[in-house]
Amino acid sequence: MARKKVPLPTGKRGPRPKARPPMGGPKVIAQKSLDILAQGIREGLPPARAAALAGISHRTWDRYRQRGQAGDPIYREIEEVIRKAEAEDQERTLKAIKAYAHAKRDARTLLDRMGRRYPTEWGRGDLLPAQLQESQVALLFNLIAEECGVDAAEEIARRFAAAQGSSAVPTAADHPEG
């Protein structure tokens, strides 16, 4: 077998290779995409749908969320945008609930929307703990009475007591405001 001749190094190097861009796309979302994401969430879209509206693929979105929730500083901004937009959506919806409750004395439609959008905080009664503390019952009664009137609060209290298997029904006299 004949050996191949290899040229000896001369001390000169050839042209340097160009730097390659990092794999995996951009390390942060462009500000325009963050603005679209936040606006979509403020308008009531779930975060994943708002991300699609902003042009972020489902797979990329999941990866960004996981990294942000893990505390990666590059992706933490995304989590902050989501939290702020969700808070703004809740605030706007609560204002609408109050206005609707005062005008119609019925906020069921908007409360149902909040329960579906934010089930942990605003879920239906079947998601509530089996037994509420007395202070929680008093707070709920007073909030309902303030927004919808004492009669509505007493009716809701009767239904809640029946669902809890209790015959004790709170009344306005049991829970004075103050």
Please measure the distance between the N-terminal and C-terminal CA atoms of the chain and give it in whole angstroms: 102
pLDDT class for 30, splitting at 50, 70, 90?
confident
The C-alpha atoms of residue 91 and residue 31 are separated, in whole angstroms, by 24
- Average pLDDT over the chain, rounded to an integer: 75
The C-alpha atoms of residue 81 and residue 76 are separated, in whole angstroms, by 9
Can you spell out the DSSP letters for 95-132?
HHHHHHHHHHS--HHHHHHHHHHSHHHH--GGGS-SS-
75 or 101: which leads in pLDDT: 75
Helix (H, G, I), strand (E, B) or coil at 142: helix
pLDDT class for 127, splitting at 50, 70, 90?
very low
Q: Which residues contact 125 (CB under 8 A, 6 or more apart)?
A: 160, 163
Encoding tokens for residue 35? 């603005």
171 or 83: which leads in pLDDT: 83
Q: pLDDT digit string (tens) for 67-86?
A: 888 888 888 888 898 999 99
Q: Which residue has the tokens 């995996």?
A: 24
Q: pLDDT digit string (tens) for 113-125?
A: 777 777 777 776 5
- Is the separation of the CB atoms in 51 and 41 below 8 Å? no
Is pTM beyond 0.85? Reply is no
Can you spell out the DSSP letters for 43-91?
TT--HHHHHHHTT--HHHHHHHHHHHHTT-HHHHHHHHHHHHHHHHHHH
The pLDDT of residue 84 is 94
